[in-house]
Amino acid sequence: MDSFIKNLPKVELHLHIEGTLEPELMFELAKRNNIDIPFDSPDQVRQAYQFHNLQSFLDIYYQGANVLIHEQDFYDLTWAYLLKCQQDNVIHTEIFFDPQTHTERGIEFETVIAGITRALKQADQELGISSQLIMCFLRHLDEESAFTTLSKALPYKKHIIGVGLDSSEVGHPPEKFQRVFQEALNHGFLSVAHAGEEGSAQNIRDAIEMLGVTRIDHGVRCSEDPELVAELVAHRMPLTVCPLSNTKLKVFETMQQHNIIELLRKGVCVTINSDDPAYFGGYMNDNFLAVAHAHEITKQELAQFSINAIEASFISPHAKEDMITQVRHYLANH
């Protein structure tokens, strides 16, 4: 089963590029950019990654991003992640970035996007990995800051397929960003939002109704509302679930208690993703393996996660067909 998982073609839909900053690269960039970090070694950084909820993670995660200054830093960060994709047989990835984490520190939007897109283009050409880019608004910041960020993104619209919403969910409901999402939709961006991770099932309903989302990021707390689950099934509304993230941030105490398999068997379009792999202990293969080791699951169900992700991705119908054929072929031969 482990080798079936490792070689299965996969598509990632929930990945924060800032969350791929491995402690070794953090140290290298801190040195290169002359930035003080409150750790003596990469191992000491890893030991600090003990989280008890979302906020305890976010505090460390935003601090880590301080070492990212130059275009080359964003390139190095993104390229390192794409090499992990190659190792894990990820054939397509849709990447979040948080512009406000950088513009608030005086880094230009242009610097961030130039570094990331240079790596993405190279991965397409040299590794055969396709990608899309999604810009997230930080929900702990105000609506005005989100509007400013949207206007900064307009000159780079051809590089950005959609907008998303991340950071602290509780206390910052979808409603707060209804107008800026409407404006983004008017400009032709697609939309997604983190909802039902730490926040209630109502946030999932509101993200769908108020923010016009075509996917929900996390969404695991939908189980608290059986009618909502039925609606997610009926509308094939995808959930980008992140199993290792959910256990590290105590959304579920153990992987055995995780509801992803139950949701899959109810017919929800659930997918497996890594969220912030440098902080949560693993990339795509590790997330698939963690689920498969904690639950009785068939190869067909594992392949269904890939097929769901392809269906939920922001690529052309033709590209989807090609990828689904790859997965079906793999399943038939393994």
Which residue positions form the known binding site for Zn(2+)? 14, 16, 194, 275
Minimum gap (Å) between residue 166 Cβ and ligand HPA: 4
Closer to ligand HPA by Cβ: residue 21 or 310: 21
Q: Does 18 bind Zn ion (CB under 5 A)?
A: no
- Which residues are CB-contacts of 325 (< 8 A; sequence separation ≥ 6)? none
**What character string, x for contact with ligand HPA (CB under 6 A) and - otherwise, covers 51-80?**
---x--------------------------
The DSSP secondary structure of 82-117, one letter per residue, reads: HHHHHHTTEEEEEEEE-HHHHHTTT--HHHHHHHHH
Q: Does 102 bind ligand HPA (CB under 6 A)?
A: no
Q: Does 275 bind ligand HPA (CB under 6 A)?
A: yes
Q: Does 20 bind ligand HPA (CB under 6 A)?
A: no
Cα–Cα distances (Å) from 133 to 26, 31, 39, 232, 279, in that order, read 22, 28, 31, 25, 21
Are 29 and 73 contacting, i.e. CB atoms less than 8 angstroms apart? yes
Are 199 and 221 contacting, i.e. CB atoms less than 8 angstroms apart? yes
Minimum gap (Å) between residue 193 Cβ and ligand HPA: 10
Whole-number Å distance between alpha carbons of 130 and 119 = 11
Residue with the shortest CB distance to ligand HPA: 166
Q: Does 276 bind ligand HPA (CB under 6 A)?
A: yes
Q: In the window 45-84, what residues touch Zn ion (CB under 5 A)?
A: none
Minimum gap (Å) between residue 243 Cβ and ligand HPA: 12
Closer to ligand HPA by Cβ: residue 115 or 243: 243
Whole-number Å distance between alpha carbons of 70 and 73 = 5
Q: Does 12 bind ligand HPA (CB under 6 A)?
A: no
Q: Backbone phi, then psi, for 150, in 5-degree steps?
A: -60, -40
Give the residue numbers annotated as catalytic, written as ranges.
Answer: 197
As given in the structure block, the two tokens for residue 24 are 């070794």
Closer to ligand HPA by Cβ: residue 167 or 304: 167
3-state DSSP assignment of residue 281: coil
Q: Which chain residues interact with ligand HPA by CB under 6 A?
A: 16, 19, 54, 166-167, 194, 197, 245, 275-276
